[in-house]
A and B are shown apart, each in its own frame.
Chain A
Amino acid sequence: MKKITHFTLLFIGLFCFITTQAQFTPDKVCRIDNGHLIFTINLKWSVKEQKELMQLFDLDSTLIAQVFNGKTVISGEYEAWKIKKVKPNIVELSKPVDSTNDKNIKINDLLLEIDKWRNFNGNTEDVSVIFGVNDFKLPTAFNYNNNKAQFILPAYKLAGKVCLSGSFNGWSTTQTPMKRVKDGWIIDLSLKPGKYTYKFIVDGKWTEDPTNNLRESDGAAGNNSVVYCCNHLFKLNGYKNARNVVVTGNFFNWNPDGISLQKSNEGWFVPIYLKDGTYTYKFLVDGEWMTDPGNQIVRKDGDGNLNSLIGIGESYLFKLDGYTKAREVVLTGSFNGWNHAQLVMDRTETGWQLPYVISPGNYEYKFIVDGDWITDPANPITSRSGDQTNSFIALKANHLFELSKFQDAKKVIVTGSFNGWNTQGYQMFRKGAKWILPIYLSPGKYTYKFIVDGTWILDPANTLYEQNEYSTNNSVLWMEP
């Protein structure tokens, strides 16, 4: 029996040894030795492991195919590479370390590569957040009403200067000083509903909000405080004897844990931030599902259950004049993933219309009239993607591209970092002596150019420009938070 155990253990050990040897370990596959870059490759690696090897070390698939096909001499354009068999199924692929002057490297490419290696995506705010609720230890430390936010820091009374810095002011360290009050520091700001991250700066030192339980990593060693400027109040009157009331809906993937409501004199409530859009929801009172008795608008789901319905944000009225003899007109666009059946328009005396709530942004859309896809005849602004021309709309546009002169031009396009330098759109339209295009741009930097009848030009009205990779210039635009 003992012998069998020993034998089994030996077998397991041997198996582990063999599998470990065969396993692709990125840290162990490559080394530099005596001026040579050497890859130790196990010919038993799976196709997946071979792919990982190629991706991590930027090795050409043709080169690796030769190695795994058992070639002993590398042919083709990879002559610098040599193969040496060191053990059964183990080969070393090597070449001299390239220590020549890297005169042709585009440095930005190198830096972008380093970002890629570290999975760094830049300092981008998370705009995808759909909902959020606050969690302050001291509920009075943050107030929000009618787009006015008030931050209170009830501490650091002896500090000489305190500033507030966050995503709402581009993380400025100087532009938002707080006012000293009896028990600490205070500031009022105009903020739109949304999620914001912030820190206080107390005499030059970054400081988390001590009254706020919500925080997220600042990308370095610390945390940023998180606050939601709420735009909706879920309220349930009565049910004072209930032990637990939560709300959940499609904004929370109908998670039954839901968002807890707080008790009030009238019943239950919770202020919440909801991104602009249309939502269905229900309350769970001590585990019992119920629609909102304070909201008469309900909608049946796919299983025939009724859910309460709310729209957050302003709705835009899409209209199509004419086509009165059509049987059906459907609105479709980038706002609903080009769904061709979801948004059936309402018939009016003169045509068709549909109010639809969507968040501020740039959208492309079309109408489907009895199966025929058409652009909006009342909208002169279009964008092209490949062979397709779509109507373009900027909801809550916050910037106007303008180009004076060029009155004889036939077509003027504005393109830039905001649309991936699409050379076919957005097409501007003429208003008086100018070509214009209203657009929605979130805070940040944009580079752009106009294309006037095929000729690329800088914005003559903008003094800011920078050199691009083609040694020409791009106009530069900053959108402030």
Chain B
Amino acid sequence: MKPERIKYNILNILFSVFALVFTCSFIVPDPVPFNYNSIYYPYYPFFSSQSITYAPEFSLTSDSVVIPLKRAGRLFLIEAKVDDQIGNLVFDTGANGLVLNSTYFRNHLKSGGSIANGITGPVGLVEQISIGKLEFAEITYKNIKADVTNLGHIENRRGFKILGLLGFSMMRNLEIVIDAKNNELILTRIDKTGKRVNNTNPEFKADYLQKFETTTNILFLKGKIAGKNLNFCFDTGAETNAISSDSNKNILNSLTITRRSTLKGVGSARSEVLFGRMNDFSIGERQITEMETIISNLDALSEAYETRINGILGYNFLEQGTICINFVKKQFGIRFTNKGEK
């Protein structure tokens, strides 16, 4: 589903190099072009580890910063400077780190490589590079590692220069407030217990809080459809929500189907995509009706994250309110825009 969701850390790179040597010896290259993308199909290195050890040098000049997000359709962009390149990073919590666009970074020093795995198996090589400096708003990271892949398709669809994707890993030690309505990302320093540092701003007041358990940079949320508990990936880079097409029949029965497409693949193959609305979604006590969703196969995503994923909460969920994420407290909070909906 999400090719850019590359889990990387030192162990991972070592394992990946091993995987590359190991797999290249007997795997016939898949004819499918290595097509990175943001919505559905994850590509991930073999033997990915879930522990987070990667911590680039980081500085933030004040205790809190408001970052204006640019909108490109349903994507949120952060203006950034990566070494000498000025452009935009897609704020993509489905990406596990920094993924850069090969158009602008293919000539940077290679620091490693790994096999990227698609639904049908290994489909390409993700190269890793070292970046001297990444700057956005008042934040500077130094000496960071990034994966490099082709993100030209996002540029071509959205008309903005896309330097790469920015996931949660770069901001795990900050309180993250996403205000989609006002196109703002507010990052605040927190201490080791997760409390704001030297901050006089009022604490975020959530209508609903959910503790999450994750050792990765990907956030999973519990939600319900038709009374069934489901595991959703929270993904600001997903331009629409998604529900697994092999979900429980009561869940699928509760959806309204409004569109269908059969997309042509390589050769004569065709694949079905359904588009509709979730009528009976709830998170905590809050019921949210009529959220747009795609109905698709999510097996590969589940496999990539080594956990069963029933769906993705993307743009349509972000629209519902202001979201606060604190990785230290392992807490997700949402303040709903529409206070009346129950």
Question: B33 → chain A, closest Cβ, in Å?
Answer: 5
Known: A31-B253, A111-B157, A445-B156. A103 touches B119 (CB 8 A): yes
Binary interface encoding of chain B residues 18-50 relative to chain A, with 1 for a CB under 8 A from any of its CBs, else 0:
000000000000001101111111000000000
* Distance between Cα atoms of A106 and B71 in the complex (Å): 24
Q: B260 to A476, Cβ gap below 8 A?
A: no
Known: A111-B37, A466-B150. A102 touches B271 (CB 8 A): yes
* Distance between Cα atoms of A31 and B260 in the complex (Å): 11
**Quick check: is A471 within 8 A (CB to CB) of the other chain?**
yes
Q: A102 to B297, Cβ gap below 8 A?
A: yes
Q: Residues of B contacting A103 with CB < 8 Å? A: 32, 118-120, 265, 269
Specify which of A113, A122, A206, A463 is in contact with B107 (CB 8 Å cutoff): A463
Known: A37-B274, A104-B265. A123 touches B159 (CB 8 A): yes
* Distance between Cα atoms of A33 and B159 in the complex (Å): 40
Q: Residues of A contacting B209 with CB < 8 Å? A: none
Q: B296 to A102, Cβ gap below 8 A?
A: yes
Specify which of B118, B183, B261 is in contact with A113 (CB 8 Å cutoff): B261
Known: A104-B266, A113-B263. A123 touches B73 (CB 8 A): yes
| B-facing residues in A446-479 (Cβ within 8 Å) | 447, 463-469, 471, 476, 478
Q: B103 to A465, Cβ gap below 8 A?
A: yes
Q: A467 to B152, Cβ gap below 8 A?
A: yes
Q: Residues of A contacting B294 with CB < 8 Å? A: 114
Q: Residues of A contacting B101 with CB < 8 Å? A: 466
Q: B79 to A172, Cβ gap below 8 A?
A: yes
* Distance between Cα atoms of A478 and B87 in the complex (Å): 11
Question: B149 → chain A, closest Cβ, in Å?
Answer: 9
How many residues of A are in contact with the other chain, CB < 8 A? Answer: 68
Binary interface encoding of chain B residues 228-270 relative to chain A, with 1 for a CB under 8 A from any of its CBs, else 0:
0000000000011000011001001101111111111111011
Q: A113 to B273, Cβ gap below 8 A?
A: yes
Specify which of A98, A218, A478 is in contact with B272 (CB 8 Å cutoff): A98
Binary interface encoding of chain A residues 211-250 relative to chain B, with 1 for a CB under 8 A from any of its CBs, else 0:
0000000111110000000000000000000000000000
- The secondary-structure label for the interface of chain B is mixed
**Quick check: is B330 within 8 A (CB to CB) of the other chain?**
no
Q: Residues of B contacting A35 with CB < 8 Å? A: 249, 252
**Quick check: is A70 within 8 A (CB to CB) of the other chain?**
no
Question: A56 → chain B, closest Cβ, in Å?
Answer: 6
Q: Residues of B contacting A471 with CB < 8 Å? A: 33
How many residues of B are in contact with the other chain, CB < 8 A? Answer: 77
* Distance between Cα atoms of A108 and B40 in the complex (Å): 11
Binary interface encoding of chain B residues 54-73 relative to chain A, with 1 for a CB under 8 A from any of its CBs, else 0:
00000000000111101111
**Quick check: is B182 within 8 A (CB to CB) of the other chain?**
yes
**Quick check: is A32 within 8 A (CB to CB) of the other chain?**
yes
Question: A402 → chain B, closest Cβ, in Å?
Answer: 20
Q: B39 to A476, Cβ gap below 8 A?
A: no
From B155, which residue of chain A is reached at the shortest CB distance?
A: A445
Q: Residues of B contacting A97 with CB < 8 Å? A: 245, 252, 272, 274, 295
Q: Residues of B contacting A34 with CB < 8 Å? A: 249, 253
Q: B65 to A122, Cβ gap below 8 A?
A: no
* Distance between Cα atoms of A115 and B256 in the complex (Å): 19
* Distance between Cα atoms of A124 and B40 in the complex (Å): 26
Known: A37-B257, A101-B297, A103-B118. A108 touches B103 (CB 8 A): no
* Distance between Cα atoms of A463 and B108 in the complex (Å): 13
Specify which of B70, B265, B267, B297 is in contact with A99 (CB 8 Å cutoff): B297
Stretch from A197-205, A251-259, A316-324, A407-415 at the B interface: A197-205
Q: A98 to B271, Cβ gap below 8 A?
A: yes
Known: A111-B37, A204-B65, A220-B183. A445 touches B297 (CB 8 A): no
Known: A108-B35, A113-B261, A122-B159. A32 touches B255 (CB 8 A): yes
Q: Residues of B contacting A463 with CB < 8 Å? A: 107
**Quick check: is B281 within 8 A (CB to CB) of the other chain?**
no
* Distance between Cα atoms of A271 and B271 in the complex (Å): 56
Q: B263 to A469, Cβ gap below 8 A?
A: no
Question: B90 → chain A, closest Cβ, in Å?
Answer: 13
Q: Residues of B contacting A112 with CB < 8 Å? A: 157
Known: A108-B153, A111-B39. A30 touches B73 (CB 8 A): no
From A444, which residue of chain B is reached at the shortest CB distance?
A: B159
| B-facing residues in A74-124 (Cβ within 8 Å) | 97-115, 117, 120, 122-124
**Quick check: is A26 within 8 A (CB to CB) of the other chain?**
yes
Residue in A32, A165, A175, A218 whose Cβ sees the most chain B Cβ within 10 Å? A32
**Quick check: is B286 within 8 A (CB to CB) of the other chain?**
no
**Quick check: is A173 within 8 A (CB to CB) of the other chain?**
yes
10 closest pairs, A vs B, by CB? A104-B265, A204-B66, A466-B152, A107-B37, A104-B269, A98-B272, A102-B271, A30-B257, A32-B252, A99-B245
Chain B contacts to A: CB under 8 angstroms: 3, 32-33, 35-41, 65-68, 70-73, 79, 86, 101-104, 107, 118-120, 137, 150, 152-153, 155-161, 181-184, 186, 239-240, 245-246, 249, 252-253, 255-267, 269-275, 294-297, 299-300
Chain A to chain B contacts (Cβ below 8 Å), 22 pairs: A57-B259, A59-B260, A97-B252, A101-B297, A101-B299, A102-B265, A104-B270, A105-B41, A105-B271, A106-B265, A111-B39, A113-B273, A117-B259, A122-B159, A172-B79, A173-B79, A204-B67, A204-B68, A204-B186, A463-B107, A466-B103, A467-B102
Known: A445-B155, A467-B150. 8 other contacts (CB 8 A): A32-B252, A33-B249, A34-B253, A97-B274, A109-B263, A123-B159, A170-B161, A219-B71
Chain A contacts to B: CB under 8 angstroms: 26-27, 30-35, 37, 56-59, 97-115, 117, 120, 122-124, 165, 170-175, 201, 203-206, 218-222, 417, 444-445, 447, 463-469, 471, 476, 478
